[in-house]
Structure 1
Amino acid sequence: MANQKLDGLDKQILKLIAADARIPFLEVARACDVSGAAIHQRIQKLTNMGVLNGSQFIIEPEKLGYETCAFIGLNLKNPEDFDTVVAELKQIPEVTECHYTTGNFDMFIKIYAQNNHHLLTIIHDKLQPLGLSSSQTLISFHSAFERQLPIMEMMDMDD
């Protein structure tokens, strides 16, 4: 799956839609000097290859009252329970990411809470019953930046 072979048109399309997912396909077509149908076909190809995975609006958690963002490293009493714990974590709406990791933790999650008290309630009532041997919580004061991977720069290395 790694090292998908993409041509220059694919890379140009990816750069444009990564910058603005709402850009009209006809505008992409004009910028790439191809037909709208060609863009539709390429988008479908990139989706089928797994290079593109949907599109979405980004919701700002703070605007909805979720003022606390935390990263929590989890260690399980029984590491063979990974699949069960992941399924349970998916049922907790405040958990927005879950990663299997190396190092000091079995997995690492990102969570949003309304405030520190809400975070404590989630940890105590929803996470601890999952069979944790330990956890470590890091509260984020503010995200300095978030971004997409640089399409052209990264992928030019494969040419």
Structure 2
Amino acid sequence: MKLSQDIVAVDGIDKEILRDLMEDARKPILEIARKIGISGAAIHQRLRKLENSGLIAGSKFVINPKKLGYATMAFIGIYLDKAMRNPEAVKQLREIPEVLECHYTTGNWSILIKILCKDNEHLMNVLNHKIQSIDGVSRTETFISLNQQIDRQISL
């Protein structure tokens, strides 16, 4: 692994380790070590270096939101009356648990968010009472996702 101006170059062994763990973060290190043909300690060292470089940003369990009753995913373009309101708007959006992602964008919207709700009524409530009540939000544009067809990370 080489680090050059905040860009991390990974070798073939690093890529194999990362691919296995991206597929299943709970895969045993020794299983990966046997497959690649190096020691478990060497894999641990490589993973520590990749974490320290910032390439590995963490690991997490992925929850299936439908099993908790959350069936409506939507993307909402938010128009702010002034660009300078962005930091305060984002601060208030952070307080809304249904907001999963928030992006500062180019184009028509100031902000694009991804939210998850139980149903359309819940979505309407979040829109009307939480998002559109934020100071500076002049209007919103909502797109409901009918079905997520691709969900992946960058390929190595």
| Fold match by TM threshold 0.5 | yes
| Cα shift readout 1:3-38 (whole Å, capped 9, x = no counterpart) | 412122211111111111111111111122111111
Deviation at 1:96, TM superposition (A): 0.5
Q: CA RMSD in A?
A: 1.4
Q: Return 5+ residue gaps in structure 1 as ranges.
A: 152-159
Tell me whether 1:32 sits opposite 2:33 in the alignment. no
Instruction: Describe the SS at the equivalent of 2:8.
Output: coil
**Relative contact order, higher structure (CA 8 A, sep 6+):** 1
Distance of 1:118 and 1:90 partners within structure 2: 18
Q: Which amino acid aligns with 2:95?
A: Q
Secondary structure, aligned partner of 2:130 = helix
- The correspondence for 1:45, drawn from 49, 59, 83, is 49
Shift of 1:101: 1.2
Partners of 2:97 and 2:112 in 1: CA distance: 16
Letter in 2 for 1:16: D
Q: More strand per residue: 1 or 2?
A: 2
Matched, 1:138 2:143: yes
Shift of 1:145: 2.4
Structure 1 position 149 matched with structure 2 position 154: yes
- Give yes or no for the alignment of 1:102 onto 2:102: no
Partner residue of 1:19 out of 10, 18, 23: 23
Instruction: Give the TM-score of the pair, scaled to structure 2.
Output: 0.90
Which is helix-richer, 1 or 2?
Answer: 1
1:116 alignment counterpart: 120
SS at match of 1:10: helix
1:64-101 CA-to-partner distances (Å, cap 9, x unmatched) read 11111100011112211222221211111111111111
In the TM superposition, what are the counterparts of 1:51-130 in structure 2 within 5 Å? 51-130=55-134
Q: Deviations over 1:91-135 (max 9, x none)?
A: 111111111111111111100111111111101111012121121
Please give the TM-score of this superposition, normalised by the length of structure 1: 0.88
**Percent of aligned pairs with the same amino acid:** 46
